[in-house]
Amino acid sequence: MGSKEMSLVLLMMAVVVAAAATPSGIKSINVVGRIEDENEMSMPTEESRRHLNAGQDCISYDAMLANKVPCSLKGHSYYDCRNRTGSGPVNPYRRECSTSTNCERSTS
């Protein structure tokens, strides 16, 4: 091989090495050898996601406690407990009586 061909081969090898060393923008290999997406580290963690979702539009834990009735006024809707505007019962209970529902038991 002549010096021109050898220089051309070395130049092509240098281009290949330089191209392999540059991150492609899609995937890269980290120090451990694991292939990962470059955007993985920019995504929020589970902890920060939970912190953001803990806003005002969530049900409080107090509402889910045992023996608590959402509306203590018998026959009133859960959503309109204090400001009752209709007539007649709204979805009366059709389940067994318990302490949490405050229903009357018929003993006759």
Per-residue tokens: 57? 């539009």
Instruction: Decide if 72 is inside a domain.
Output: yes
Domains contained in the chain, number: 2
pLDDT at site 107: 54
Q: What is the percent of the chain where pLDDT is above 70? A: 19
pLDDT at site 14: 87
This prediction has a pTM of 0.22
- Same-domain check for residues 65 and 105: yes
Q: Which domain holds residue 66?
A: 60-108
What is the full DSSP assignment across 89-101? Answer: -SS---S---TTT
- Same-domain check for residues 34 and 64: no
- Same-domain check for residues 10 and 38: yes
Instruction: Decide if 53 is inside a domain.
Output: no
User: pLDDT of 22-61, one tens digit each?
Assistant: 555 545 555 555 555 555 555 566 666 665 665 656 666 6
Give yes or no for residue 10 having a pLDDT over 80: yes
